[in-house]
């Protein structure tokens, strides 16, 4: 009897909770996003957020319209924020992009996951390493969110966005079978979203340089900062807004390569490995063929200017810097990366630079002396008249 | 010609000398720039010395706030969800309190800090932190436009995205009205300007004085979110359906009745099903 009484009370409590949540859903629910957990009940307010213990600004606001138009707009919050089941959300776990998110991947019918990309990324130059081969200073390495926000589907451009008529005609064909217009439009956006670069060249350079210009961070990993790119003709073109001017991706992730699988140039599959340079410079097979007639001689030339590594190796007093752990790591890498001929070229360039320094000093100095003497002669001449 | 005459002659020549100087100035500047470019660009020792110096400084306490000071964007780099102008918009009528306490002033109560912070988007601090005392001030609440400062009882926008903020309005003698400000804003600004000149004791005294009208027990969730609560939602222009929602016990109950509110995973509203 007591058992049935308890059961009845428990059922009543559950029913009340269910009704309360349904009421909340009814009052705040939106048709834009699949928010059956009613997270937007709180998270739709723009000022929702706080500063965490480390002083980081945590914004908990989610704009439902922007989210609904994003590539993740069909997912429920819990699909990524897994295990979140209490308020306050003290048990919240970090989002794991390699987890399955309950969307069926249509080609396999399995639950969708970014695990494939995450695995590749961990093994790449930007990843923390795999197995026992872990990198030092993992705090310096980018995570998924460092490069990716939640991108929105945008109106297509390029061939597929030449006119609204083309989009309408294509969509009309799709909707012959796929009768739900919302689904068809979303699938169309999903497809055309991949048909162009999402970021401009300046944005790509800004993203890469946000880490690679940090001398101190780069030195910790034995690499030099990327200031050398900004000495190149490629960067000048980007600055002048030349369409299709090459940014970091153009050479480091050309056609057939993935941004999640960037390898060091010593790796044979790297696009900047000497064996692959001709293919990379010509970029055959892509929409844009940069240097279609690239020869081995052309492709194996130096793209980035000589930087700190060459300076350190050529320096007579490098021993002074060897005490610094980070600098010695850079020198160690420099000895591997720079060939003797490259070092010879660098020294020749330095001599040429020195020659011009002296020449310019003589030319400008001579001009000044000449002008001064001429001025004095003029004054003397005027006085004598 | 005397000394006076020479001076006059020099003054007469001055415009020509000035013209000559202006003519030669670009050449001098170009020469200086060229010399700097050729001879004073950092070479190896300078680059490395700078690098070593930066490494040392980064370890020191001088750069504890480096990341915070460098943060200029509205959202941190690793923020995933897209934000809109409501996060970045300038609030011209922002209470002076936010100058010190920031956009997210609540941090202590783990259970409600973020929820309280979102209220800061549409409520002036003084609404909750300076409880109206009937015997001292005759106060009502109204919307104050963020741009113009116009007082209104009409509501525009929805769900925290209002072009106005709720402020306490004080009815003064002669039936005139003004925004009730428990902190003397002019004094607060003076304090911020000159606080470096104060001793720690003076700063503490000034802070106490500035906050003298702040209630020790601020208005809490259950004070408002109930029928006939602290705020009259009807007078603030809310629709009846929204008032019913605001007066319901969902959030208050969640915060006050439960130490932790568990979202029932047993009835997970179809999460396990794939979304078409």
Mark B218-237 as b/e (b = at least 16 C-beta within 10 Å). Answer: ebbbeebbeeebbbebeebe
Give 3-state DSSP helix, strand, coil % of chain A, rounded to 5. Answer: 55, 5, 40
Amino acid A366: pLDDT: 92
- The encoded tokens of residue A109 equal 């019918």
Confirm whether B272 is domain-assigned. no
Instruction: Pinpoint the alpha helices (H) of A289-339.
Output: 296-299, 308-314, 325-337
Q: Are A248 and A200 in contact (CB under 8 A)?
A: no
Per-residue pLDDT reduced to its tens digit, A259-283: 999 999 889 999 999 999 999 998 8
Same domain, B114 and B65: no
Closest CA in chain A for residue B88: A46
**pTM of the prediction?**
0.76
How much is the pLDDT for B176? 83
Q: Considering only CB atoms, which chain B residues are within 8 Å of A317? A: 45
B128 touches B97 (CB < 8 A): no
The better pLDDT of the pair A154, B106 is held by B106
C-beta of residue B236 within 8 angstroms of C-beta of residue B141: yes
**Greater confidence, B247 or A231?**
B247
Average pLDDT over residues A116-143: 90
Do A350 and A342 meet the contact criterion of CB atoms below 8 Å apart? no
Q: Do the Cβ atoms of B241 and B233 come closer than 8 Å?
A: no
Q: Pick from A26, A64, A27: which is nearest to A44 by CA?
A: A64
Q: Under 8 Å CB-to-CB from A59, ≥6 apart: which residues? A: A48, A49, B75, B76, B79, B81, B83, B87
Do B106 and B36 fall into the same domain?
no
Predicted confidence at residue A97, as pLDDT, reads 92
State how far the alpha carbon of B124 is from the alpha carbons of A153, B121, B219, in Å: 37, 8, 12
**Angle made by CA atoms A83, A86, A90, in degrees to the nearest 5:** 85
The per-residue pLDDT for B263 is: 64
Q: What are the start-end ranges of the E strands in chain A?
A: 49-51, 57-59, 86-87, 100-104, 111-113, 129-130, 133-134
What's the pLDDT tens digit per position in A49-68? 999 888 889 999 999 989 98
Distances in whole angstroms, Cα of residue A240 to Cα of each of A3, A202, A235:
79, 10, 9
CA–CA separation, A59 and A225 (whole Å): 31
Let me know if residue B35 belongs to a domain.
yes
Do B129 and B60 share a structural domain?
Answer: no
Tell me if A86 and B261 make a contact (CB, 8 A cut-off).
Answer: yes
Q: Domain tally for chain B?
A: 2
- DSSP-derived letter for residue A142 is -
Within 41-60 of A, beta carbons closer than 8 Å to B belong to 41-42, 44-51, 55-57, 59-60
pLDDT value at residue A132: 79
Answer yes or no: is B152 within a domain.
Answer: yes
B259 CA to centre of own chain: 32
Residue A35 above 70 pLDDT? yes
Extract the tokens encoding B176.
């005139």
Per the omega criterion (within 30 degrees of 0), is the bond before A148 cis? no
SS3 for chain B is CCHHHHHHHHHHHHHHHHHHHHHHHHHHHHHHHHHHHHHCCCCHHHHHHHHHHHHHHHHCHHHCCHHHHHCCCCCCCCCCCCCCHHHHCCCCCCCCHHHHHCCCCCCCCCCCHHHHHHHCCCECHHHHHCCCCCCCCEEEEEEEECCCCCEECCCCCECCECCEEEEEEEECCCCCEEECCCCCHHHHHHHHHHHHHCCHHHHHHHHHHHCCCCCCCCCCHHHHCCCCCCCCCCCCCCCHHHHHHHHCCHHHHHHHCCCCEECCCCCCCCCCCCCC
pLDDT band at A295 (very low <50, low <70, confident <90, very high): very high
Residue with tokens 């809310």: B238
Q: Is residue B137 domain-shared with residue B193, that is, in the same domain?
A: yes
Residues of A within 8 A of B118 (CB-CB) are: 42, 45-49, 61
Contact (CB, 8 A) for A289 and A283: yes
pLDDT given at position B173: 78
Query: In whole angstroms, what is the distance from residue B113 CA to residue B108 CA?
Result: 7
CB contact under 8 A, A57 and B83: no
Residue numbers of A between 100 and 139 with CB closer than 8 Å to B:
102-104, 111
- Select from B203, B219, B235 the last residue of a domain: B219
Task: Inform me whether the pLDDT recorded for A156 exceeds 80.
Answer: no
Q: Which residues contact A357 (CB under 8 A, 6 or more apart)?
A: B38, B39
Q: What residue ranges do the domains of chain A occupy?
A: 1-74, 198-305, 309-384
Residues of B in contact with A64 (CB under 8 A): none
Do B67 and B112 belong to one domain? Answer: no
Which stretches of chain B drop beneath a pLDDT of 50? 44-47, 57, 59-61, 266-276
The tokens for A80 are 């990524």
Q: Is pLDDT of A1 > 50?
A: no
d(CA A267, CA A114): 24
Strand A57-59 to B177-179 pairing: unpaired
Highest mean pLDDT among A59-68, A90-99, A187-196: A59-68
Query: Is A36 part of the contact surface with chain B (CB cutoff 8 Å)?
Result: yes
Asked if B160's CB is within 8 angstroms of A47's CB, the reply is yes
Instruction: Tell me whether strands B261-262 and A86-87 are parallel, antiparallel or unpaired.
Output: antiparallel
Q: Are B192 and B273 in contact (CB under 8 A)?
A: no
**Is the distance from CB of A166 to CB of A172 less than 8 angstroms?**
no
pLDDT of residue A14: 44
Max avg pLDDT among A84-98, A329-343, B10-24: B10-24
Q: Position of tokens 């509205």?
A: B74
Residue A192: count of CB within 10 angstroms of its CB: 20
**Do both B148 and B193 map to the same domain?**
yes
Looking at the fold, whether B161 and B214 belong to one and the same domain comes out as yes
Helix, strand or coil, per DSSP, at residue A63: coil
Q: Using N-to-C axis directions, what is the helix angle for B3-39 and A340-384, rounded to 10°?
A: 170
Percent of chain A with pLDDT strictly greater than 90: 27
Residue B51 lies in a domain: yes
A2: confidence class by pLDDT, cuts 50, 70, 90? low
Evaluate whether A245 touches A234 at the Cβ level (below 8 Å). Answer: yes
Cα→Cα distances B239→A172, B159, B160, B225, B242, Å: 42, 13, 15, 15, 5
Mean pLDDT of all residues belonging to chain A: 82
- Could you give the CA distance from residue A173 to residue A333 in angstroms, rounded to a whole number? 56
For residue B271, tell me if it sits in a domain: no
Q: What is the pLDDT of residues A203-230, one digit of tens each?
A: 999 999 989 988 888 888 888 877 778 8
Domain that includes residue B54, residue range: 20-72
Per the domain annotation, does B41 fall within a domain? yes
**Probe site for chain A from B17, B30, B33, B55 (most A CB atoms < 10 A):** B55
Which of B13, B41, B47 is the best residue to mutate to test the A interface, defined by the most A CB atoms within 10 Å of its own CB?
Answer: B47
- Asked if residue B128 and residue B182 are part of one domain, the reply reads yes
| Domain-embedded: residue B49 | yes
Q: Per the domain annotation, does B257 fall within a domain?
A: no
The distance from CA A358 to its chain's CA centroid, rounded to whole angstroms, is: 43
pLDDT at residue A95 tops 80: yes
Question: Which is higher by pLDDT, B231 or A337?
Answer: B231
Q: Are residues B53 and B159 in the same domain?
A: no
Pair (B210, B98) in one structural domain: yes
Give which of B253, B158, B162 is closest to A40, Cα–Cα.
B158
């Amino acid at each position: 009897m007591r058992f049935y009484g308890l059961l009845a009370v428990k059922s009543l409590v559950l029913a009340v909770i269910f009704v309360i949540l349904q009421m909340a859903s009814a009052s705040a629910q939106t048709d834009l996003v699949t928010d059956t957990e009613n997270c937007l009940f709180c998270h739709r307010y723009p000022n929702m957020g706080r500063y965490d213990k480390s002083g980081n600004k945590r914004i908990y606001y989610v704009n439902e319209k922007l989210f609904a138009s994003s590539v993740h707009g069909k997912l429920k919050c819990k699909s990524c924020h897994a295990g979140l089941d209490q308020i306050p959300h003290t048990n919240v776990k970090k989002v794991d992009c390699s987890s399955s998110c309950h969307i069926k991947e249509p080609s396999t019918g399995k639950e969708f996951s970014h695990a494939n990309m995450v695995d590749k990324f961990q093994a790449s130059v930007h990843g923390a390493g795999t197995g026992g081969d872990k990198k030092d200073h993992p705090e310096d390495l980018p995570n998924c969110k460092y490069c990716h926000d939640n991108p929105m589907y945008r109106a297509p451009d390029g061939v597929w966005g030449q006119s609204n008529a083309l989009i309408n005609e294509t969509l009309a064909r799709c909707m012959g079978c796929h009768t739900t217009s919302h689904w068809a439009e979303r699938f169309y956006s999903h497809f055309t979203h991949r048909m162009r670069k999402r970021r401009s060249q300046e944005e790509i350079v800004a993203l890469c340089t946000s880490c690679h210009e940090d001398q101190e961070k780069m030195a910790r990993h034995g690499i030099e900062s990327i200031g050398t790119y900004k000495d190149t003709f490629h960067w000048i073109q980007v600055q002048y807004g030349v369409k299709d001017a090459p940014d970091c991706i153009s050479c480091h992730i050309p056609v057939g390569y993935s941004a999640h699988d960037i390898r060091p140039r010593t790796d044979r599959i790297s696009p900047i490995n000497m064996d692959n340079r001709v293919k990379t410079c010509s970029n055959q097979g892509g929409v844009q063929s940069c240097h279609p007639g690239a020869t081995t001689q052309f492709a194996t030339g130096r793209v980035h200017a000589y930087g700190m590594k060459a300076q350190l190796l050529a320096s007579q007093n490098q021993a002074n810097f060897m005490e610094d752990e980070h600098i010695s790591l850079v020198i160690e890498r420099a000895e591997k990366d720079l060939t003797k001929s490259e070092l010879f070229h660098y020294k020749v360039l330095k001599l040429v630079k020195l020659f011009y320094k002296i020449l310019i000093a003589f030319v400008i100095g001579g001009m000044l002396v000449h002008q001064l003497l001429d001025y004095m002669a003029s004054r003397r001449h005027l006085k004598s008249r | 010609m005397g000394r006076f005459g020479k001076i006059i002659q020099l003054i007469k020549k001055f415009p020509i000398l000035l013209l000559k100087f202006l003519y030669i100035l670009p050449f001098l500047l170009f020469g200086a720039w060229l010399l700097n470019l050729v001879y004073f660009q950092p070479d190896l020792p300078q680059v490395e010395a700078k690098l070593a110096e930066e490494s040392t400084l980064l370890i020191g306490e001088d750069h504890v706030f480096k990341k915070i000071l460098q943060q200029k964007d509205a959202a941190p780099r690793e923020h995933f969800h897209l934000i809109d102008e409501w996060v970045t918009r300038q609030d011209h009528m922002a209470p002076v309190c936010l100058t010190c306490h920031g956009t997210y002033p609540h941090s202590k109560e783990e259970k409600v800090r973020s929820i309280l912070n979102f209220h800061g988007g549409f409520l002036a601090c003084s609404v909750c932190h300076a409880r109206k005392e009937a015997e001292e001030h005759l106060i009502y609440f109204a919307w104050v436009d963020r741009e113009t400062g116009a007082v209104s009882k009409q509501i525009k926008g929805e769900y925290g995205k209002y072009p106005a903020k709720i402020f306490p309005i004080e009815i003064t003698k002669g039936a005139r009205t003004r925004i009730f400000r428990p902190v003397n804003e002019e004094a607060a600004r003076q304090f911020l300007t000159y606080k470096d000149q104060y001793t720690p004791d003076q700063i503490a005294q000034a802070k106490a004085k500035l906050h003298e009208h702040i209630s020790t027990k601020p208005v809490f969730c259950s004070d408002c979110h109930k029928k006939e609560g602290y705020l009259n939602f009807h007078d603030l222009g809310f629709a009846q359906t929204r008032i019913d929602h605001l007066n319901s016990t969902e959030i208050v109950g969640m915060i006050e009745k439960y130490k932790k509110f568990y979202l029932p995973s047993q009835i997970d509203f179809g999460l396990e099903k794939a979304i078409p």
